[in-house]
Amino acid sequence: MHAIAILSLAVLATAVPHRHSHQHLHAKKNLEVALAGRDNIDWNLGTCGGSTGFTCGTGFCCSKWGYCGTDSDYCGAGCQFGACNGEKGDKGEAAPANNTATTISLGKVFPVAYTLSPAMSSIAWPAEAPATTLTAKVSAVADKGHSSQTYGAAPPAYSSPVESPASSVATPAYTAPSSSSEAAPVAISSTTPPVYSATTTKSHSAPAPTSPSVPAYSSPSSSSSGGDAGLGNVYSMYTGNGEQSVGWPAESLWMSFDDAWKGNLDIMAKSCTQWGVDNNSDQENADLKSAIQSVAQSSGVDERFILAIVMQESNGCVRAPTTSYSVSNPGLMQSFEGTATCNPGSSTAPQGQTPCPSSSITNMIEQGTNGSKAGDMSLVYALQQAGCDDISKYYKAARIYNSGSIASGGDLGSGVATHCYASDVANRLTGWTTATCGCNLD
């Protein structure tokens, strides 16, 4: 057996920027950051799978999105190795019987064993533990500038959406850790939350949904021109399951697309400075606006939602660098395993292309919205996985786009990756641009 070298967590801490000193890429103080979204991962949780060489600690599972955890989101369908719960994985093989889940309270930090195989290409999986890999998508703006994460009691139970099996990807060999205790697999089902009228409450716990159903995603029927002034350039912290009943904004409070676009132009004008590449030209901004509207029309995804994700991921910089951890995430939307970009370099070694062709800008929006290939993470996929058809589908989809799934309790601020992501997107939709971010989950 090949020796396994233990990597120093201190090395990872220095390699991955994880400050808490900014919101996103808006306002001058927020321009001095790394890229937004899925690379704001608590590295105590770690990533696993893919070509990273990292596995999960004893008793934890590596989810199909490449994170370690213990509940059904990590140990269910698509579980790569670790304490899998016995469900069939992406290849259709059942996980070994001794790979069972360990129950951990929601919100606690999951330890991760970081190991590196000295000769990955020559190490074979144990015969009893075949594995498939689908690694997590990482985004552009890393830290969010929120205060340290704290949690109280876990939110009420929520049935998270059923995740579609992912395509099998060849995996370097790792040694799966043994499980520490046995627990029965948790059944996953989708629910349709009831529709409520909007309230003015800003922060609540999520109620448990009551009527199970899995509605198919369809194109939004409401016009993206409504909302107009929204709530203005203010930040309201939203917690819970994304529904109006717990204070999340109704669509009537969203900005119109034109007003939202105008409100973000000043941010776009200087969003590329931090990476040492040219800021957007007027023509590039015009091409970006046209691309968002065109892809929105063809995909059925609200153009305001696409714009909000663009601002969350890259603050609209057409030369946003490519982030690469377990997979490559390039471009305006830091698309999962995308190919479209005008900066294939990193934040520290940029390779900005000026001008950025309109075709490249359109492809960046296309890949982030519809996916780089069938079954990849995208806004369309995330909206389908949200499992509902009320306004909360957008807030749930934002969380799924960021971290791959919603925590089993339904709280959009729980789980891995950027805990403020869904709240940030909701605020962008209602007009937030440069005001101080009021979310304290990250």
Residue that has been written with the tokens 């003015």 in this structure: 200
pLDDT at 61: 78
Residue 200, pLDDT > 90, answer: no
Task: Using pLDDT thresholds of 50, 70 and 90, give the confidence band for residue 185.
Answer: very low
Q: Which of residues 442 and 393 earns the better pLDDT score?
A: 393
pLDDT at 181: 39
**Residue of 434, 261, 291, 259 whose CA lies nearest to 362:** 291
pLDDT tens-digit map of 28-42: 334 444 454 444 444
pLDDT at 327: 87
Long-range contacts of 28-31 (CB under 8 A, 24+ apart): 28/270, 30/145, 30/434, 31/270, 31/271, 31/273, 31/274
Domains of the chain: 47-84 (3.30.60.10), 244-430 (1.10.530)
Please compute the mean of the pLDDT values over residues 251-274 and round it to a whole number. Answer: 97
pLDDT tens-digit map of 299-308: 999 999 999 9
Pairing of strands 61-62, 68-69: antiparallel
pLDDT tens-digit map of 65-98: 777 777 777 787 777 766 676 543 333 333 344 4
DSSP class of residue 37 equals S
Residue 199, pLDDT > 70, answer: no
pLDDT tens-digit map of 355-385: 999 999 999 999 999 999 888 999 999 999 9
Residue 227, pLDDT > 80, answer: no
pLDDT at 338: 95
